Structure 1
Amino acid sequence: EELLFQQDGNNNFAAASKDGKQIVVSRSGTELSLDNNLYLIDAVTKKETLLTPHTDASSYGDVDFLPDGKTIVFTTDQNREFTTVATMSLNSDKNETSPENASKIQFVNTGIWDVENIEISPRGNDLAYTVNLEGFSRLVWRKIETGGDPKTSDVDKNLTIINLPAKGIVGGLNFSGDGSKLTFTFNSAKNNSDIWIWDLKQKSKMQVTKSDRAGISQDSFVEPELIKYKTFDSREIPAWFYKPKNFVGSFPVIVSVHGGPEGQERPGFNPLYQYYLSRGYAILATNVRGSTGYGKTFTHLDDVRKREDSVKDLAYAVEWLKTSGSADAKRIAVMGGSYGGYMTLAAITLYPNLWAAAVDTVGIANWESFLKNTSGYRRRQREVEYGRLDRDLDFLRRISPLAKIDKIRAPLFVIHGKNDPRVPYTEAEQIVAALRKRGGRVEYKLFDDEGHGVSKLKNRLELYPLVADFLDRNMK
């Protein structure tokens, strides 16, 4: 065992050349959110070379070496709105590494949607990746041409779009050892996740696994509709609208907010949504500003001082539900986990008259205590998105839901795991204690054997009927 590289930052292994002489490391930025750099480490000399100098917030990921051993392929959104496939030549013919020998990034394709999940076949002659089209996946296969003297590798401009079982989400790309087949996982609103195989020669697909649905009819599952609503600054906010089956008239609605905030609500298989739908609730799963998948500008619209603009997007979601979504205006709840838990608490403090109920799972109630108590490795990562304690403390205190506890009108259900390393359970303790002190309506479930979320089956089977019953008491 040998120490090849050490640096006091957030570093992650990204790729290694086949001969083991070159290693690419990804290092997170310390001033901007969704920002990192790639560094080339010479395993012999231990020399470090910055590959991706830039000034704006840019991301680089899914790194791999091409067969020539001196070119890497990766995804990036440098100088553009969406991530795309790119290549970069690393060194000269003399196999030296220096900034002068690092050529400019070569973009393999351009588009208006993010490229994800790059995978190269073991022989290095095939490339697969997915494209995120407003939440749905497109699976793409391209050839890699290698030849010449000296040997070079290039990604073919032609591409094949692989036919999927339905409109859904693809992940877990992996080529077989001989490169003749590509495996991937697929799920959709009506299909729980299964493994599929694509035969590159036959251009045919085959389902390998058949996940159990516990006897529940697939026909009972609801597919969402993609809707877009105008918000306060005339931007369009995308959301997935699930309607309960066989419902007549206006219905109660759960407005769901994803975590992150650098995340995206996508139309995959969500058993919890299907459970609430079976209990008669519609769901509006939002992608408010700050979500990924809609371009770099959109993702950064909630950074630091713009934090509460994203909460305003939730208020406009309610307006859309009342005017276009057949919702009962008096029966709208808000629900979210992690950062979505913060959004839930922020929604019921900033817009207290809009909500009939709220459910906060492992959410942030107090930005100051959260940043002080979260795991050390995460603090600076989160400060570049939320604000820094040494620079923005007054602002962080001002926007904390705990500081506006007197505004809360809706009954609240708080859920947390005692072993949460990301959002300490003391966030839940603070909001619950403050509400109980002023006589607020709050229910609290703390799991001693859970962390950042509720993952154990026995706990989920206990919890979610309790949540649904809570909603029934306050919305039906």
Structure 2
Amino acid sequence: MAADTRHPLTTGPRPDTGAPPPHIDPAAGGNGTAAAALTALAEPGPTAAATAASARAAPEPVLLADASVPHDVPQRLVAHSCWYPSVDPGGRNVAFICDRTGVPQLWTGPVDGDEPRLLDADPDPVTEVSWSPDGRWIAYTTAPGGGELTRVLCVRPDGTGRRLLAGGEPGASAYLGCWTPDGSAVAVTVTEPAPAGDVRARPDWPPPATDLPAPAHTGRWAGRDGQAVLLGGRPLATATDQEAERTVVQADHAAQTREAAPRALAVYLVDPEGTSAPELVAAEAGAPTLRACALTRDGRLALLRRGPRGRREAVVLRRRDRTVTGTVRAADGDPWIGGFSPDGRTLWLRSDTHREFAALLEVRLGPRGEWLGQRVAAGRPDCDLELLGLHRDGQHAVLAWNRHGVSDLEITALPARAPLEFGTDLREPPADGSRDDTSRGVPLPHEVVTRVVPTADPDSPVVALSGSRRRPGVWWLPHGTALRTPWSSRDQDAVLAAGHPPVRPFPLHPTARDGLALGGWYYRAPGRSPDEAAPCVLHLHGGPEEQERPVLQPLYHELLERGLDVFAPDVRGSSGHGRSFVDADLGTGRFAAIEDVADCAAHVVVAGLADPQRLAVMGRSYGGYLTMASLVWHPELFRTGVAVCGMSDLSTFFAGTEPWLAESAAHKYGHPERDADLLRALSPMSRIDALRVPVLAVHGEHDTNVPVGESRQFVRAARERGLDAELLMLREEGHDFRRADNRRLFRRSAADWIQRHLAT
């Protein structure tokens, strides 16, 4: 989202996001305090005000120069990765993201041919792809400069007609939604920054369509022992009380603008041809996320996904009068949560409402979109429905289940429409997860499915696969036969530089000190004796809701080639283990998550896998925070740490992060004002005097999710205490490292650092 907007709940300066050199940063040293790493945000002047006003206008297509390249473009990466496929209407051609040039870019190629074409040779990383239902356009999202602000473009399948649809204004951001069923327009979500000046006198602010009520599904934090206070929580309006609710919402917006004017998210339908004006679908002031996931064929109803992490909602909006006709909790993870039947009377959703694990939910809708009832159409008692792909015929679906980190793929015929009077019925499917003969499992050549795409033939989907011994690739599954697309990397291309094949991990199941069962995957360095206690790196994933999966991780193999074992655990707060496990770190539960790291280290030591005198810890994003926290909460446990894009002080993090992320983070960590004491107690900087070991921090220069100042102040404080501490800054990167040369630099620098400090 827009980097120049402030979260209405927080005050204070933003961390310095200047561009340091792409090497160890000397600016992190010296005798400055944490405050010295922060700079005040300048007051907006007339130019900024004009920019804000233009950013609030509906997006219009802007023609760009053609940037397609034939398939014989120089290929610097042999062992490349392909992911995020989207198919044409015939199902024989695929648009996808590939990094064979060193940067994730937009490519297209036939499922059974070996001549892919680079459609956009610009160096900006591509993050999402969507082929229009009529086949005329491919829409995609890019991240200019590798940062967190994104924009939406369109290009024709032959590489011509490239144009910018949304997100081109300075400080603005945009991301993809669904296409209209006829392909005439694509939904885009754009940021609309609050106008400068006194917005109380502005009749056009908040935007007129800001009529989505506050989230109804607020999770279960209020019933826990934590000090944190949940944001929002007003019951959702229905069609019968919408007008009364709108009055309350408008009053609340007026109260908000007296304190600080929030930026808004707005969803528009944009015609790539530019022949018709963009059409506003919905807008919400202060929204963390808002995405159009599906439209009915007649355009009457829209399915929106909104809300912060841990409190996602699926909202059905009647477009004629922008009335919310119903809502239900939507599962976290993949944003494409569901869609409508061809007649618009059934909604299929990936939801975990009233459940530990996400399932396929069938919602019956009335003629005006009213919510008549719902039931579980497919669910399993011990694993999540992770991905849902609905066939355009409305009678078939592709389901990907997350079974303890490994994917099960199922092609199913959707159940016939239930009787009108079935009401609200949350009955469970058979306890063993079995279905009738209208469903069948599809054997997979690799462990994890990352995307499912139905094609014209319901029995021949396209999927993106990752595995512990292969690079991500795109596969075609005609009638149960798994065929790798010729332009995806071969398995043998994944062999590492030293000639060793990738290591296949094995699962471990530690137990936390309070009895909670944890999980994770252990990677044994090649050639190591089974009974040898090895130097070991604990790697902590981000989120916190991410999950460790058995997929090829070049970072892990860089460490393994240095003779270092890797244990990648799922501490509490991770997904894939049920809703209660995800929520177990809320509020003061964060302290238990920090203890989980020590318990995981103890588990691999007691099991005889790891040497207790040669342990290191590292992680990215939330894992970077957990790395810093582990080093100061357990100062004698680890010999060194590598913290990547981590939060060192939750107060300065809230002051500098993106507004949408602040909203989600307040649910996870605590409110930046009401829970200031809790955030202070959870911050690694509050215990920095306990730090005893060397630390390397790594950060992308354009990271606005976790600003660079979070790493700088931790490294500076460590140096002030006489410790070996460095900061590696990566140019043209944001919160995710997408460029091959930067990823390589990060892997080698982190492995060099850990190897050096574990060898002494």
1:58-93 Cα shifts (integer Å, max 9, x gaps): 7696111123321011111111111011110121xx
| 1:276-296 CA-partner distances (Å, limit 9, x unpaired) | 111111000000011000011
The aligned residue for residue 14 of structure 1 is 293
- Aligned match of 1:34 in 295, 307, 310? 310
Q: Deviations over 1:307-349 (max 9, x none)?
A: 1111101111111121104211110000000000000000000
Segment drifting more, 358-367 vs 157-166: 157-166
Which of 144, 149, 152 is the equivalent residue of 2:414?
Answer: 144
Residue 401 of structure 1 pairs with residue 676 of structure 2:
no
Give the match for residue 342 of structure 2: 67
Does the 8 Å contact 2:628/2:648 carry over to 1?
A: yes
Kindly indicate whether the alpha-carbon contact (under 8 Å) linking 2:338 and 2:390 is maintained by their aligned counterparts in 1. no
**How far apart, CA to CA, are the structure 1 residues paired with 2:601 and 2:483?**
43
Residues of 2 paired with 1:46 and 1:326: CA distance?
59
The answer to whether the 8 A contact 2:653-2:710 is kept is: yes
CA distance in 1, matches of 2:501, 2:698: 28
Aligned-partner Cα distance in 2 for 1:104–1:195: 34
Which stretch has the larger CA shift, 425-434 or 9-18?
A: 9-18
Q: Is the aligned partner of 1:211 residue 2:509?
A: no
Deviations 1:358-403 (A, max 9, x none): 0000000000000111012221111011100121001111221011
If asked which structure has higher relative contact order (CA below 8 Å, sep 6+), I would say 2
The answer to whether the aligner puts 1:365 opposite 2:637 as a matched pair is: no
Q: Find the partner of 1:76 among 351, 357, 361.
A: 351
* Compared CA separation, residues 148 and 384, structure 1 to 2 (3 A): closer
Partner of 2:131: none
Query: What is the rounded CA distance, in whole Å, between the counterparts of 2:539 and 2:639 in structure 1?
Result: 14
Distance in 1 between the 2:300 and 2:631 partners? 55
Note if contact 1:108-1:157 (Cα within 8 Å) is conserved in structure 2.
no
Corresponding residue to 1:85 among 360, 376, 379:
360
Which AA in structure 2 matches 1:188? G
Query: Is the deviation greater in 103-112 or in 384-393?
Result: 103-112
> Offset of 1:463 from its aligned partner?
2.9
Give the conservation status (yes or no) of the 8 Å contact 2:594–2:626.
yes
After TM superposition, give the deviation of residue 178 of structure 1 in Å: 4.1
CA separation of 1:361 and 1:149: change in aligned 2, threshold 3 A:
closer
TM-score (norm 1): 0.91
1:234 and 1:379, CA in 2 relative to 1: closer, same or farther beyond 3 A? same
Partner of 2:623: 340
Equivalent AA in structure 1 for residue 757 of structure 2: N
Amino acid at match of 1:184: V
Q: Distance in 2 between matches of 1:171 and 1:322?
A: 33
**Which residue pairs with 2:395 in the alignment?**
125
- Does the aligned pair in 2 maintain the 1:238–1:287 contact within 8 Å? yes
Unpaired runs of at least 5, structure 2 = 1-277, 423-428, 430-434
Native 8 Å contact 2:297 2:344 kept in 1: yes
C-alpha spacing 1:145/1:236, structure 2 compared with 1 (3 Å)? closer
2:448 corresponds to which of 163, 169, 178: 169
Quick check: 2:510–2:600 contact (8 Å CA) kept in 1?
Answer: yes
Alignment of 1:303-382 (within 5 A): 303-382=586-665
Is the counterpart of residue 46 in structure 1 residue 316 in structure 2? no
Amino acid at match of 2:521: W
Amino acid at match of 1:116: E
Please list every run of 5 or more consecutive structure 1 residues that lacks an aligned counterpart in the other structure: none
**Is the 1:51–1:102 Cα contact (8 Å) retained in structure 2?**
no
Q: Which residue of 1 aligns with 2:462?
A: 183
Q: Secondary structure of the residue that 2:677 maps to in structure 1? A: helix
Amino acid at match of 2:684: P
Shift of 1:117: 1.0
Residues 208, 235 of structure 1: CA spacing in aligned structure 2 closer, same or farther, 3 A cutoff?
same
Contact 1:74 1:86 in 2 (8 A): yes
TM-score, scaled to structure 2: 0.58
Instruction: Using the TM superposition, give the Cα deviation of residue 112 of structure 1 relative to its aligned residue in structure 2, in angstroms.
Output: 1.2
Distance 1:223 1:68 in 2: 47
Asked if the contact 2:470/2:494 (under 8 Å) is kept, the reply is: no
After TM superposition, list the pairs within 5 Å mapping 1:221-232 onto structure 2: 221-232=502-513
Give how far 1:471 is off: 1.4
Q: Give distance in 2, aligned partners of 1:147 and 1:294.
A: 31
The CA distance in 1 between the partners of 2:495 and 2:505, in whole Å, is 22
Separation of aligned partners in 2, 1:110 and 1:404: 43
Once the two structures are TM-superposed, the CA of residue 124 in structure 1 deviates from its matched residue by 2.2
Q: Distance in 1 between matches of 2:603 and 2:450?
A: 32
CA positional deviation for 1:148: 11
Q: CA deviation at 1:146?
A: 5.5
Higher strand share: 1
Q: Which amino acid aligns with 1:96?
A: R
Cα offset for 1:231?
1.4
Matched position secondary structure for 1:379: helix
1:428 corresponds in structure 2 to 711
CA distances 1:242-269 after superposition (whole Å, capped 9, x unpaired) = 1011124321000010000011011111
SS in structure 1 of the partner of residue 557 of structure 2: helix
* Mean Cα deviation higher: 406-415 or 242-251: 242-251
Kept in 1: contact 2:292–2:304 (CA 8 A): yes
Distance (whole Å) between structure 2 residues aligned to residue 310 and residue 61 of structure 1: 29
1:189-208 equivalences in 2 (<5 Å): 189-200=468-479, 203-208=480-485
Residue 412 of structure 1, aligned match among 695, 712, 717: 695
| Closer/same/farther in 2, CA of residues 220 and 110 from structure 1, 3 Å limit | closer
Evaluate the alpha carbon distance shift between residue 294 and residue 383 of structure 1 in structure 2; reply closer, same or farther with a 3 A threshold. Answer: same
